[in-house]
Amino acid sequence: DIGNLDYYRKFHVEQRGWSDIAYHFIVNNGSMNTTIGQIEESDLWKARKANLSTRSWYANWFGIAVVMVGNFERHAPAPLQQEALIRLLVNLSRNYNIPPERIVGHREIQNTACPGKYLDMHRLREAVRRELAADP
């Protein structure tokens, strides 16, 4: 079992021909020997390199790419996974002065269904906003 970080890295390098994984952070759903809500940090993040997650050079250069493992066109994220995503985004928002309205989903940048109809970006931004306001 290789974990989702290594799985995505292998897929992106071998199948897509990219230099590395496309994301800075992975929020796991319990597959591949991970726990639900476990966050994996990629080497891209550690080196503060641009990501490859969209067709937008601007978003890839300046954005922080977070992927949630799962198909959210078919089902909602598990509550623990959703909570982990919110905690991660709150921490990134605080540490890098990112206002919640600057948190965007893949489909808000390019024509795709990702992150899926069961991951509501408006509600996600509101949850981050509430957490930031509750503990400034």
Predicted confidence (pLDDT) per residue in 86-132, tens digit: 999 999 999 999 999 999 998 888 888 889 899 999 999 999 999 99
**Mean of the pLDDT values across residues 42-68?**
81
pLDDT digits (tens, 9 = 90+) for 2-29: 578 888 888 888 888 878 888 889 999 9
Distance of alpha carbon 111 from alpha carbon 66, whole angstroms:
18
CB atoms inside a 10 Å sphere around CB 9: 21
Distance of alpha carbon 38 from alpha carbon 49, whole angstroms:
22
Between 20 and 79, the higher pLDDT residue: 79
Residue 58 near residue 52 (C-beta atoms within 8 A): no
- List of residues 6+ apart from 125 with CB closer than 8 A: 100, 101, 103
Q: How confident is the model at residue 82 (pLDDT cuts 50, 70, 90)?
A: very high
Q: How confident is the model at residue 120, as a pLDDT?
A: 94
Q: How confident is the model at residue 7, as a pLDDT?
A: 83
